[in-house]
Amino acid sequence: MVIATTFTPTECQFIINILKLPKHVVFLARSARIRRLGPQDRRAEYSLQFSVNNSENLITMRKIKVLFVCMGNICRSPTAEGVFAHLVAEKNLAERFQIDSAGTHAYHIGDAPDLRAQKAARERGIELKHIRARKVVAEDFENFDHILAMDDDNHAILSEVCPQDQAHKIRRFLEYAPHLNQRDVPDPYYGGSYGFERVLDLVEQASEGFLQALQAKGDLQL
């Protein structure tokens, strides 16, 4: 027997919280496409299916897909990827996210993050060595829910090539840390170690703010 319908993310979470499923019921949550209803009104709809069999309980919700973008994808955006992944893991939310990073230019495709970025992040318990640089591709605008640019220049490049119906996904990352009164995460590539520490400080605060924004919208329950 299969029963299917659609709910908003908030309704979906409410059902998860209150529904007491026996062990022979599998609970599957599959996402419908995110659709834009207005400038500030988007909602993700979830298709919930209840299938009866002899398996253990299973709850699977659609992942929130986040792409961090800088110029070459070896300093700022991999740092943001690592910091945000570390944050959601600490909050036991890793399974709710798909996190990636990319660059607007193809300078360093296939390279690991800058060794200085790796060192600064590692000193805060964050590992970046597994990340490999890549360039933003057209499919990213369709596949990701949030595309977070490190500065105005990269925001402009993304906005220029993004399909109009996906443009609402592009934001400056530091918009989620308005108390900093700063628009850009500065590129540390040509500076010293302080620049990489500064990047970490900024993206840590923006990551917290972004997570809180998702919660406020009802996309995520912390």
47 and 27 in a single domain? The answer is: yes
- Catalytic choice (12, 62, 76, 151): 76
Please report which residue ranges of 74-190 form alpha helices under DSSP H: 76-90, 115-122, 138-143, 152-161
- As beta bridge partners, residue 60 has 28
From 23-27, 89-93, 170-174, 196-200, the region with the lowest mean pLDDT: 23-27
pLDDT at 221 over 80: no
Number of H helices, E strands in the chain: 6, 10
Asked whether 221 and 212 are in contact (CB, 8 A), the reply is no
158 and 101 in a single domain? The answer is: yes
Most confident of 23-27, 45-49, 93-97, 218-222: 93-97
More confident residue, 129 or 24: 129
46 and 149 in a single domain? The answer is: no
pLDDT of residue 41: 38
44 and 74 in a single domain? The answer is: no
137 located within any domain: yes
CATH number at residue 209: 3.40.50.2300
Where does a domain end: 43, 60, 77?
A: 60
70 is an active site residue: yes
Residue-range definition of the domain harbouring residue 11: 2-60
76 is an active site residue: yes
pLDDT of residue 205: 98
Spatial separation of the C-alpha atoms in residues 217 and 213, rounded to whole Å = 6
Give the mean model confidence (pLDDT) for residues 81-101.
97
- Catalytic choice (100, 145, 151, 187): 187
**Which residue bears the tokens 């298709």?**
47
33 is an active site residue: no
73 and 129 in a single domain? The answer is: yes
Among candidate residues 210, 217, 183, the one with its CA nearest the CA of residue 87: 210
Q: Where are the beta strands (DSSP E) in the chain?
A: 2-7, 25-31, 35-38, 41-43, 46-52, 59-60, 64-70, 97-103, 146-149, 170-172
222 located within any domain: no
Whole-structure pTM value: 0.76
Give the mean model confidence (pLDDT) for residues 151-174.
98
145 and 196 in a single domain? The answer is: yes
183 located within any domain: yes
78 and 157 in a single domain? The answer is: yes
Domains: count for the chain: 2
